[in-house]
Structure 1
């Protein structure tokens, strides 16, 4: 049985319906990535899975029970959520913020334990923020802050982890670091992960299960090798493209679809290269 699912989910902000009649089943023990164009409902779909948004109709189920009927503490011990734009209390230090991830596991008779200490230390080491422990969060760069928030989510040590655009503000090296970390958490610790990503190629590389959305509905879902096709890229993103195998992983790769103009070596003249001539790690940002 799928632990986390949604049935006939309709989501709205006041009078504007964003998602209508959505059915979704999150595969256990897998990395699921949701992709789609801007304003298609990706982040909105993630929010009710962590009980941050009340559905207008339908239900989110956790272990067969409606999420709305479960105690907040039970949900927080099972589902960790990193929202798109988290806000920290002014002047809070990195160490204190990461430690807040342990609150769902604490009791009035035991506010801090060796297990809490281990979880926080491990989360900070995995996200390379240990040396920032005493720094105020509001003094950090955007990329540093993002890694601190991810550390807090990891410290929560939940079976299910929801990440809304976790690579925001990160340079390409730290994006790969974070996504490699997500993959290791899944592979080594059996975490079920649902992430919203903007980069289609990164999504195809790291996902076990890919969900493509457009205008509040699921257009396709399944293994990236079955979902990422030239036809789907055109339908969902309006982009003419080709799809080739990633030379490293074999996952689908969507190269830059328009010709690239670059100087011919030693000539100073412009020459048109195709994607087959100028191979790089291209990024289709969504």
Structure 2
């Protein structure tokens, strides 16, 4: 089980493409909780995830408690970006635990198979990733993120454009991961995903502080 983690953002600002996206953001993300970032398009949800993941720098403010052990599932990946089988794509999540050129261990293979089952894509394991439907692809990407076994799991729009069954599987997997002590943060428009979160951070408002759901 990951160590207890509390990430604090105090008055942070973020820029993207030369434009200030957020200013004066205060938020807390805790292990054991699923936190949903909400707000209109352009409010900075994806930018916050990118900053936590280290993809974009913090422009101002203070960030404490952020571990280096972060897994990030983007909103979408073009099918051709992963010209692999579903099993091979999910196995990429184990690269953080060992150099990619080294053979996978028994534990690596066990983790991959467990996540394939968890997200109901085990029957698709030998199918090419670029032949998956949108819902299947999203479940496979979440399985890839879970396979990393990171202390922090970030997911951008985990249920966007997927059917109800896929959405329910993803939401349940994120909740289970949080119960295991992981910090889970996702950006969401989907009311079902938002309602299932333990805490909310509303962006694009005068005060973007977390409020428990």
Q: Structure 1 residues 7 and 219 mapped into 2: Cα distance closer, same or farther (>3 Å)?
A: closer
- Aligned alpha-carbon RMSD (Å): 2.2
Alignment gaps of 5+ in structure 2: none
Alignment deviations for residues 93-122 of structure 1 (CA, whole Å, 9 cap, x no partner): 111110000001014895311111111011
Of the three residues 72, 83, 95, the one matched with 1:81 is 72
The residue aligned with 2:162 is 170
Of the three residues 171, 191, 197, the one matched with 1:207 is 197
Give the Cα separation in 1 of the matches to 2:202 and 2:114.
33
Give the Cα separation in 1 of the matches to 2:202 and 2:115.
30
Kept in 2, the 8 Å contact 1:211–1:218? The answer is no
Paired positions, count: 209
The yes-or-no answer on 1:41 pairing with 2:48 is no
Give the Cα separation in 2 of the matches to 1:111 and 1:60.
37
Q: 1:86 Cα deviation (Å)? A: 2.8
Q: 1:30 Cα deviation (Å)? A: 1.0
The residue aligned with 1:230 is none
Give the Cα separation in 2 of the matches to 1:16 and 1:39.
11
Q: Structure 1 residues 2 and 102 mapped into 2: Cα distance closer, same or farther (>3 Å)?
A: closer
The yes-or-no answer on 1:134 pairing with 2:148 is no
Q: 1:35 Cα deviation (Å)? A: 1.1
Q: Structure 1 residues 132 and 213 mapped into 2: Cα distance closer, same or farther (>3 Å)?
A: same
Calculate the TM-score normalised by the size of structure 1: 0.67
Give the Cα separation in 2 of the matches to 1:149 and 1:101.
10
The yes-or-no answer on 1:155 pairing with 2:157 is no
The residue aligned with 1:55 is 58
The residue aligned with 1:111 is 103
Q: 1:10 Cα deviation (Å)? A: 1.5
For 2:203, what is the secondary structure of its paired residue? strand
Asked which structure has the greater RCO (Cα within 8 Å, sep 6+), the reply is 2
Alignment gaps of 5+ in structure 1: 68-74, 225-286
For 1:97, what is the secondary structure of its paired residue? helix
Q: Which has the larger radius of gyration?
A: 1
Which of structure 1's runs of 4+ aligned residues deviate more than 6 A? none
